[in-house]
Amino acid sequence: MKVSDYYAELHVAGRLADAGWDIYFPHRDKGFDFVISKVVNGTPILRPVQVKGKYPSGEKTDKNVYGYVGKLTQTHPEMVLAIPYFSASSPDTPVYIAFMPWASVKPHARGFHCQPATYRGGEPRPRREFGKFFDEGGIKRLDSLAWKSDTIAS
């Protein structure tokens, strides 16, 4: 099965909906893939989400850092860069999803980069210092009002 970016977006949206976030899809995808909202301790939170799936090919080699490198059509200080990682052994469903704050996205010659994983033997793995941004732990961090400045050190 060839997995599409649209599937990755819907999978990420489903995980966030399961965690209590409301999901809003645009009529036209000209930037963010969707926007999420939630009321936390009486404070409404809105976060735009950009999803960039990572799909290994047969010729992908091992990498110490692995993630998204490229252009982003829109950016925002409160945005979530969601990176669903697929593997050679699980090409249909992400094995991990990183939920990265804007503070972890850095400028790059090709646009931006955020590489919170490694890639070894056909399998992505969270890098130790970025582990808190993956899967359920990463989703829980979205509830913080300090999300936009969250880093590996905080």
pLDDT tens for the 154 residues of the chain, in order: 456 678 899 999 999 999 999 999 998 878 899 999 999 999 999 999 999 999 987 788 999 999 999 999 999 999 999 999 998 888 889 999 999 999 999 999 999 999 999 999 889 999 999 999 999 999 999 999 999 998 887 7
* Strand bridging mode 111-120 / 63-70: antiparallel
pLDDT at site 3: 61
Instruction: In whole angstroms, give the CA distance from residue 134 to residue 116.
Output: 9
pLDDT at site 2: 58
pLDDT at site 91: 82
pLDDT at site 71: 96
pLDDT at site 88: 83
Look at phi and psi of residue 41 and say left if phi exceeds 0, alpha if psi is from -120 to 50, else beta: left
Domain definitions of the chain by residue range: 5-149
Q: How many Cα atoms sit within 13 Å of 55 on the Cβ side?
A: 13
Cβ contact 53:3 at 8 Å: yes
The CATH class, in words, for 5-149 is alpha beta
- Residue 82: what residue type? A
Look at phi and psi of residue 29 and say left if phi exceeds 0, alpha if psi is from -120 to 50, else beta: beta
